[in-house]
Amino acid sequence: MGIRATAVVCLALVAPALIVTGCASAEDTSVAGTAERFLSAAGEGRGGEACLLLAPRAARSLDDCEKQIVSAGLRAGAVRGVDVWGDEARVRVDGDTLFLHRFPDGWRVRAAGCESRPDQSHTGQPYECEVET
């Protein structure tokens, strides 16, 4: 195999990995950005803005979204980890965990103020959340 052929094969093998990695990190940034904007808005009393970033069903689950979301005790914090799998994501920040879903117009928060249950060990015990769908 010549050098050119080898280069083509290498590129064919590496390019998809680069694309996937690139897409994954761009996605992570987008998810983390939504989570941070949501927590900042909720923590700083901008209920209307926070409610716009909630998934529709999560917003409907609150009787008065704009008031309740600011009194839920949510605070912005440093992002500690982002996991994106398909159209679902989990963002861990200091003192909070959020779950997001990708809608046609972007990521929206479907659950916030989440804490893992003490006995959770991948055995079907979901997080307990202050706000959820």
Partner 1 sequence: MKRLVRENALALCFLLLFLVTLAGQSVAGAAAFNEEQVAEGGSPVTWAHYVTSSSFAVDVAENWQSEYLQFFLYILITAWLIQRGSPESKKRGEEGLESDAEQKVGPHAGPGSPAWAAAPGWRRTVFSHSLGIVMGLLFLLSWLAQSVAGLAAYNNEQLAQLEDPVDWVGYVTSPDFWNRTLQNWQSEFLAVASMVLLAIFLRERGSPQSKKVGDPHSETASTG
Chain residues binding partner 1 by CB under 8 A are: 55-58, 83, 85-90, 99, 101, 103-104, 110-111, 114, 116, 120, 122, 124-127, 129, 132-133
Instruction: Give the shortest CB-18-to-partner 1 separation in angstroms.
Output: 18
DSSP state of 65: H
Residue closer to partner 1, measured from CB, 2 or 85: 85
Are 53 and 13 in contact, with CB atoms under 8 Å apart?
A: no
CB of 78 to partner 1, least distance (A): 20
Q: How many CB atoms lie within 10 A of CB 74?
A: 24
Distance CA 36, CA 131 (A): 16
Nearer Cβ to partner 1 (75/92): 92
CB of 37 to partner 1, least distance (A): 20
According to the 3-state scheme, what is the secondary structure of 8-49? HHHHHHHHHHHHHHHHHHHHHHHHHHHHHHHHHHHHCCCHHH
Other CB atoms within 10 A of residue 28 CB: 17
**Nearer Cβ to partner 1 (7/14):** 14
**Nearest distance, CB of residue 46 and partner 1, angstroms:** 24
CB closer to partner 1, 7 vs 23? 23
